[in-house]
Amino acid sequence: MEIVDVDKNRPLYIFKYLLDHTDEEHPAIITDIIAHLEANGIHATRKTVASDLVQLQDCGFDVVCNKSRQNQYFIGSRELQIAELKTIVDAVQAAKFISSAKSKELIGKLSKLASPYEAEQLQRRLYVDGKAKTENEAVYYTVDLLHAAINHEKPVMFKYIEYTSQKEKVFKHDGQLYKFSPYDLVWNNDSYYVFGWSESHGKVVKFRVDRMYKPEEAVFPYHPRPEDYDIEAYCNQVFMMYDGEPTHVTLRCDNAIMKAIIDRFGESVKTLPADEQHFLAEVDVSISPTFYSWVFTYGGKMQILSPESISKEYQKRLTDALKHCT
């Protein structure tokens, strides 16, 4: 049986106690430390504890001492400060792809990085407007698998899920097995998407991660990124992550919605003054119902100038919509 030198390890017990039980608002005095050590079968005196605390400080541990009639000790800095932990916890609670159960587990682990008193502040409810968390914990592990596949340039195989008109989950194309070389993961509109080369499509496509069924590493050759592959340009083109035909579009916009254009396409978007009240924006988008809906949300403040075919299609959709309202 290995014999443990308690005196030699006593500073470690003290540091663990301070780490687990103190912070700036809740320091410990030497008698608190002695009581904890005694409760764990470790004999100590005021003199030995004071010496151990100095030893910890000399070794670089941030053991802070508030000098007073009874010196008070606490851990000054931690790997993550409470404000940083709160930010991470809020992100975990807001992430739709992380299930409620997994969120609770992750927050519990994050709480261990804080003192017990600070950890109580992490057990808070964040209201996230209109977002229902998934109960599919497989997404959590699918993201991890895809990260590994991307980093090591390994292909994957999976079936893809779609929904019937009765909201029943079914496999797309009768359970076709998709052979896929992943390139990039993208977070958009509260969901993960993966971009890469699809063998069946013969081009770069995207899949929504939570609809990939049991992806696994495959043995067929990995298809390298095409020379013209640019994930940033591709994301700008794939408007709001909906399929459609990539098209160069010119929009005539009120000056008041310049911020909306920049928010959508970035500061590098090409714009030109049209007159004192309007500007022109040239953008690459995927033409889809989502694009037309987006234009409509700005009412008369945004017009499609070209291509003419897209402008006419938009007008037709407006006319058809008005017919259904009468």
Q: Supply the pLDDT for residue 124.
A: 59
Give the CATH number for residue 157: 2.30.30
d(CA 287, CA 65): 64
d(CA 233, CA 236): 5
User: Which residues, 6 or more positions from 183, have their beta carbon under 8 angstroms from its beta carbon?
Assistant: 150, 194, 195, 196, 197, 204, 225, 229, 231
Domain-located, residue 108: yes
Q: Supply the pLDDT for residue 244.
A: 66
Residue ranges in the chain assigned as alpha helix (H): 6-21, 30-39, 46-58, 82-94, 100-111, 116-122, 138-152, 231-237, 258-265, 289-296, 308-325
Residues 14, 33 contacting (CB under 8 angstroms): yes
Residues 188 and 158 in one domain: yes
Residue that terminates a domain, selected from 176, 205, 229: 229
Q: What are the tokens at 195?
A: 């971009």
Q: Compute the C-alpha angle 312/313/314, nearest 5°.
A: 90
d(CA 79, CA 197): 39
pTM over 0.85, yes/no: no
Give the CATH number for residue 35: 1.10.10.10
Q: Compute the C-alpha angle 282/315/295, nearest 5°.
A: 45
Residue ranges in 225-307 assigned as alpha helix (H): 231-237, 258-265, 289-296
Residues 219 and 181 in one domain: yes
Residue 185, SS3 per DSSP: strand
Q: Supply the pLDDT for residue 280.
A: 93
Q: What are the tokens at 300?
A: 């008369």
Q: Supply the pLDDT for residue 210.
A: 86
Residues 243 and 305 in one domain: yes
Q: Supply the pLDDT for residue 289.
A: 82
Q: Supply the pLDDT for residue 153.
A: 94
How many independent structural domains does the chain possess? 4
Domain-located, residue 175: yes
Task: Show pLDDT as tens, one digit a residue, over the chain (326 residues).
Answer: 343 455 667 888 888 888 888 888 889 999 999 999 988 888 889 899 988 898 888 888 888 898 888 889 988 877 777 777 787 787 777 777 777 778 888 888 888 777 777 777 776 555 555 555 666 677 878 888 999 999 999 999 999 988 765 567 889 888 999 999 999 988 877 778 899 999 999 999 889 888 899 999 999 999 999 998 888 877 766 645 456 677 889 999 998 888 888 777 777 788 899 998 999 999 888 888 888 888 988 888 999 999 999 999 989 988 887 776 65
Residues 309 and 265 in one domain: yes
Structural domain of 90: 82-122
